């Protein structure tokens, strides 16, 4: 009998303990929604996007008395499912880059020569050795030219050699996920990347006559424009479909003639000015002609037109100049606000280069990020990094993991730099035209709510991830992924989710 009584007491204690655990679990999850807000669910249904193709995580970020930021779970819908994040993957790459390298990190482009400078003439070749500066643009190259001239060089009698040994050859291969090799977003990494290797043509109606003006950047030393365009009285929608472009670099090389960019077709008169961007030249031709033009624009000259070739810096060459580009903080601003793919890829490769040496590989960049995650007590099972930009069919991360990143950022010294790099809804970047109507409702408030959101899109993928400061001053981290053939219709659902948070959606009066 005594044994039975003890057994009964043991069962009773077990039941009480299980009950306590259930209560504790319920208390911990109090306020956590496991269902989508009705306005979001309705949008998904209306656009024929099944809920099992969607992942959502929302946390409220609260600051403790000690100053540490902690998370309170607000909404969880399939948040542990690894999904394709598209360009929101840039958040991982840029945050790790900022924290590991520091916001003031600057890339170096080294200029060597095997010649001598006499009476203002550099008689010898120039060797350009790159480390992957992702924003070596015309304005920066102009500064480099002034630095060369400050060495007493006015004329160059030699050729150009490009040392790309910082990167493994495999990462510079021009592979695409959609076959659009001429599109700027598909430019591959390059330790000597100049102006994103992209020709940007500006087309618009002339101010003085009834014809089309065409200009382009960056300046190239041997490029001419054959303008056969006509103005037509049409609206500006789908203007690209009426333009025919041709540039034959191989033909120009064979005949030893300047490059000719030929435009034909029609431009609607309603277009006030449009940009036609194209990747039409190989890396060496683009850099050779860009460097030559920049030197000439700075007032320098050549004894003869330079030829540009691949070639590592010889041991006997001497360093003429070490040029430092813009800071990482400036570059991250461009990467996140305008979703620049090749810049993000080069940040990943820079992590590999700085921490594991050259030649940099994507695999080594991933190892550096995985090590950084562990140092920050972040365990991300299922994480797949292919190139760090999100321009991938294989990259994967969960919404929950993305929000863990956003929370971690608030506890890092680079948290504000990272926060300020994100597009602001209704203001700039890829969110410039989003949530306009919803934000107008808060114009009367002294402290206006805001959404700083990184967007992502691929065929069959639409994503958002970032921070929302609500009308009551609460800070939320929000991530939502849609992976489905109808994902392109998911913009409305994502905007509804963000608007819900701006209005303090998680408040009890809004709960279902």
pTM of the model: 0.91
In a domain, 505, yes or no: yes
End-to-end C-alpha distance for the chain, whole angstroms: 51
Q: Same domain, yes or no, for 269 and 353?
A: no
- The residue from 251, 278, 305 where one domain ends is 278
- The residue from 278, 312, 346 where one domain ends is 278
Q: Give dist(CA 130, CA 120) in Å, integer.
A: 26
Q: Same domain, yes or no, for 234 and 360?
A: no
Q: Same domain, yes or no, for 351 and 423?
A: yes
In a domain, 299, yes or no: no
Q: Same domain, yes or no, for 272 and 337?
A: no
Q: What is the residue range of 258's domain?
A: 199-278
* Positive/negative CA dihedral, 42, 45, 46, 47: positive
In a domain, 356, yes or no: yes
Q: Give dist(CA 344, CA 13) in Å, integer.
A: 56
Q: Same domain, yes or no, for 337 and 483?
A: yes
- 3-state helix/strand/coil string of 444-474: CCCCCCEEEEEEEEECCEEEEEEEEECCCCC
Q: Which helix (DSSP H) or strand (DSSP E) does residue 212 occupy?
A: strand 212-217
Collapsed DSSP state (helix, strand, coil) of residue 438: helix
Q: Same domain, yes or no, for 359 and 452?
A: yes
Of 134, 128, 101, the residue nearest 325 (C-alpha):
134
What is the number of structural domains in the chain?
A: 2
In a domain, 154, yes or no: no
In a domain, 99, yes or no: yes
The domain that contains 358 carries what CATH number? 3.40.710.10
Encode pLDDT of 393-446 as tens digits: 999 999 999 999 999 999 999 999 999 999 999 999 999 999 999 999 999 999
In a domain, 316, yes or no: no
In a domain, 50, yes or no: yes
DSSP code for 52: G
Encode pLDDT of 307-322 as tens digits: 999 999 999 999 999 9
Taking phi over 0 as left and psi of -120 to 50 as alpha, with beta for the rest, 161 belongs to: beta
Q: Same domain, yes or no, for 264 and 354?
A: no
Q: Same domain, yes or no, for 386 and 240?
A: no
Q: Same domain, yes or no, for 273 and 390?
A: no
Q: Same domain, yes or no, for 341 and 263?
A: no
- What backbone phi and psi angles, to 5 degrees, belong to 219? -65, 135
- The residue from 278, 309, 343 where one domain ends is 278
Q: Same domain, yes or no, for 351 and 492?
A: yes
∠ at Cα 290 (132, 430), nearest 5°? 60
**pLDDT of the chain, 512 residues: tens digit per residue:** 444 344 434 444 443 343 434 333 333 444 566 789 999 999 999 999 999 999 999 999 999 999 999 999 999 999 999 999 999 999 999 999 999 999 999 999 999 999 999 999 999 999 999 999 999 999 999 999 999 999 999 999 999 999 999 999 999 999 999 999 889 999 999 999 999 999 999 999 888 778 899 999 999 999 999 999 999 999 998 999 999 999 988 776 666 788 999 999 999 999 988 999 999 999 999 999 999 999 999 999 999 999 999 999 999 999 999 999 999 999 999 999 999 999 999 999 999 999 999 999 999 999 999 999 999 999 999 999 999 999 999 999 999 999 999 999 999 999 999 999 999 999 999 999 999 999 999 999 999 999 999 999 999 999 999 999 999 999 999 999 999 999 999 999 999 999 999 999 876 444 33
The upper half-sphere exposure of residue 461, i.e. CA atoms within 13 Å in the direction of its Cβ, equals 21
Q: Same domain, yes or no, for 249 and 343?
A: no
In a domain, 188, yes or no: no
């Amino acid at each position: 009998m005594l044994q039975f009584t003890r057994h009964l007491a043991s069962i009773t204690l077990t039941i009480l303990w299980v009950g306590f655990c259930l209560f504790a679990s319920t208390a911990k999850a109090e306020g956590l929604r496991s269902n989508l807000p009705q306005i979001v669910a309705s949008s998904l249904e209306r656009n024929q996007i099944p809920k099992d193709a969607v992942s959502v995580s929302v946390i409220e970020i609260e600051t403790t008395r000690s100053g540490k930021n902690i998370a309170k779970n607000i909404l969880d819908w399939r948040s542990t499912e690894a999904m394709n994040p598209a360009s929101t993957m840039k958040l991982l790459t840029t945050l790790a880059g900022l924290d590991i390298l520091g916001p003031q990190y600057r890339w170096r482009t080294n200029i060597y020569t095997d010649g001598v400078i006499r009476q203002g003439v550099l008689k010898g070749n120039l060797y350009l050795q790159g480390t992957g500066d992702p924003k070596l643009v015309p304005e920066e190259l102009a500064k480099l030219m002034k630095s060369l001239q400050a060495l007493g060089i006015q004329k160059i009698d030699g050729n150009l050699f490009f040392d790309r040994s910082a990167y493994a050859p495999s990462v510079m291969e021009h592979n695409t996920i959609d076959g659009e090799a001429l599109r700027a977003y598909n430019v591959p990494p390059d330790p000597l990347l100049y102006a994103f290797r992209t020709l940007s043509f500006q087309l618009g109606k002339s101010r003085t006559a009834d014809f089309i003006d065409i200009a382009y950047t960056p300046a190239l030393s041997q490029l001419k424009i054959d303008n056969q365009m006509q103005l037509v009285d049409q609206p500006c929608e789908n203007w690209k479909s009426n333009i025919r472009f041709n540039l034959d670099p191989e033909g120009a090389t064979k005949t030893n003639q300047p490059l000719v960019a030929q435009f034909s077709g029609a431009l609607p008169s309603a277009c006030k000015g449009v940009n036609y961007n194209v990747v039409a030249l190989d890396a060496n031709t683009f850099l050779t002609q860009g460097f030559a033009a920049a030197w000439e624009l700075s007032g320098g000259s050549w004894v003869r037109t330079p030829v540009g070739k691949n070639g590592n810096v010889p041991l006997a060459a001497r360093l003429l100049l070490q040029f430092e580009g813009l800071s990482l903080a400036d570059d991250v601003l461009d990467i996140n606000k305008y979703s620049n793919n090749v810049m993000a890829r080069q940040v990943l490769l820079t992590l590999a280069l700085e921490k594991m040496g050259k030649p940099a590989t994507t695999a080594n960049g991933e190892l550096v990020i995985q090590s950084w995650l562990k140092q920050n007590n972040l365990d991300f099972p299922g994480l797949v990094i292919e190139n760090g930009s999100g321009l991938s069919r294989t990259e994967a991360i969960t919404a929950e993991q993305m929000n863990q990143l956003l929370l971690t950022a608030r506890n890092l010294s680079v948290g504000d730099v990272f926060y300020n790099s994100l597009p602001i809804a209704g203001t700039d970047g890829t969110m410039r035209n989003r949530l306009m109507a919803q934000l107008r409702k808060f114009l009367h408030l002294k402290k206006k709510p805001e959404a700083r959101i990184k967007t992502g899109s691929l065929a069959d993928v639409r994503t958002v991830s970032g921070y929302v400061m609500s009308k009551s001053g609460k800070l939320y981290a929000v991530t939502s992924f849609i992976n489905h053939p109808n994902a392109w219709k998911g913009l409305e659902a994502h905007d509804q989710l963000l608007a819900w948070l701006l209005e303090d959606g998680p408040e009890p009066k809004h709960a279902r």
